[in-house]
Amino acid sequence: MLRRIALIILLVAITISVHGQDKQPITFFLTFVPNIQFAPIYVAIEKGYFAEAGIELTLEHGDEPDGVNLIAAGERQFGMISGEQVIAARANGRPVVSVYEWFQKYPIGIVVADDSGIESPADLRGRTVGIPGAFGASYTGLIALLTANELTEADIQLESIGFNAPQVFCLGGVEAAVVYVNNEPTQIERLAQRGECGAVRGVRVFNVSDYADMVSNGIITNEDTIADDPELVARFIIGFHNGVTLALNNPAEAYLMSLPYVDSLPRDPALMAALQAEADLDYDQGIGEYEEPGEGRAAVLERLRVAVPDVDWVQMEILIDTAQLWDALTPGSSDLESWQTTQDILVSMGIVSAPIDLENAFTNAFQPIG
């Protein structure tokens, strides 16, 4: 089976431009709302990577469980779902499989004010901690972080605050908040810089990924699609992977490619001109100059801030912080150990009553070659 899939991937990679004429309509389920964090997808559409792969892509947003149910029922072929959801779904009879781990680091963390006296996660004992709700990646990440620091949920005062962490945190409603490390901390810092975050002047973030290697957001499909149309899975991943690669290597162009999809992105003319100038740089003149791509992306942001200092670059900052979560030597692949760590957490939380066979929950067979 694996050899067959590898051969399919090779054939798809060689002949993909020939097949670009016949496009298969596919709806890609995404969570949250249109956002700069989905830049690789927008890049892949705008640059024609999906079209070259013979796919005419439509995007759809909704709640994660709805996406899982649609994919499990065969109503959709692909979705962007967090890894722990795959385990919980399979444990409850839904035949979904992760085929590309997009986020290589778990994106959840806990933000605190830097003068709160909370120097480590262990100091969260007795403190109020806000969370969107006791479900999903936020809750799983929180429990993983607490467990790694020999704490339990009973040791903190957990407050359900919806998706309002920056506002509630700045109003002093909670002393800490469970957040996506690439998003809310940046927003809170921006509010603090403007003096709109109460007594908060700076923040500190405890990343779950520093304490537990868990599987995170990735592309999932269903068992029937893998069995009946592995070529489609391979083509889809190639298109997406190319989008991720470009977004990692040219975040300025990724921002520009995202504009038609994310209404809230700033479009100041000076900002646009600065982004285009960065986007036009050769890789070797930009990110490629740096040993660590992360340093190169940070340098891009710094140049943009210098070029246009009067613009709020928070969305670009979110994109670059998010890119850090995707970056890896082998983007898209995941390992059994991280799946096992995630399942252990879910079993301890009672979300999964008994361990499942994790070998069937994911596959690296569709990883792009090269």
Partner 1 sequence: MHIHTALKRPTPHPSKTNPTQSARAPRHLLRQAAPIIGIGLFLFIWQAVVWLRLYPEFIIPSPAAVASRFVDVLLDGRLWLHTSTTALQIILGFALGATLAISVGYVVAKSLVFEAIVSPIFIAIQSTPVVAYAPLLVIWFGSGAASKVITSALIVFFPLLLNTVVGVRSVPNDQRDVMRLLNASRWQIFWQLEVPAALPILLGGLKVSATLAVIGAVVGEFVSAKAGLGYLIERADYDFDTPLVFVAIVMLALLARVMYGAVAWVERRVLRWRVK
* Binding positions for partner 1, rule: CB under 8 A: 63-65, 68-69, 72-73, 85, 88-89, 91-94, 130, 132-136, 158-164, 167-168, 171, 173, 351
| HSE-up of residue 71 (Cα within 13 Å, Cβ side) | 34
Question: Least separation, in Å, of the C-beta of 6 and partner 1?
Answer: 31
Main-chain dihedrals φ then ψ at residue 282, nearest 5 degrees:
-65, 155
Q: Token digits for 15? A: 């002949």
User: 100 in helix, strand or coil?
Assistant: strand
Contact at 8 Å (CB) between 61 and 191? no
Rounded to whole angstroms, what are the CA distances from 44 to 21, 109, 233, 337? 17, 29, 15, 30
Smaller CB separation from partner 1, 73 or 122:
73
Closer to partner 1 by CB, 128 or 147: give it.
Answer: 128
Task: Return the number of the residue (130 or 286) whose C-beta is nearest partner 1.
Answer: 130
For 183, how many CA atoms within 13 A lie in the half-sphere containing its CB?
Answer: 15
Q: In the complex with partner 1, which residue's Cβ is closer, 62 or 294?
A: 62
Short-list 144, 146, 133, CA closest to 215: 144
Q: How far is the CB of 306 from partner 1 (least distance, A)?
A: 36
- Least separation in angstroms between CB 173 and partner 1: 7
- Could you tell me the smallest distance in angstroms from the CB atom of residue 337 to partner 1? 24
Residue 156 beta carbon to partner 1: minimum distance, rounded to whole angstroms: 13
Tokens of 92: 């409850």
CB closer to partner 1 out of 177 and 247? 177
Of 66 and 123, nearer to partner 1 (C-beta) is: 66
Q: How far is the CB of 136 from partner 1 (least distance, A)?
A: 5
In whole angstroms, how large is the CA radius of gyration of the chain?
Answer: 21
The SS3 call for residue 358 is: helix
Backbone angles phi, psi at 281, to 5 degrees: -70, 140
Closest to partner 1 by CB, 113 vs 137, is 137
**Least distance in angstroms from the C-beta of 107 to partner 1:** 17
Contact 112, 176 (CB under 8 A): yes
Q: Which of 203, 181, 41 is nearest to 109 (CA)?
A: 181
Give yes or no for a contact between 29 and 65, defined as CB atoms under 8 angstroms apart: no
From residue 278, alpha-carbon distances to 266, 285, 308, 357 in Å are 16, 10, 12, 46
Distance in Å, CB of 123 to partner 1, minimum: 22
Measured from the CB atom, the residue of 39 and 208 that comes closer to partner 1 is 208
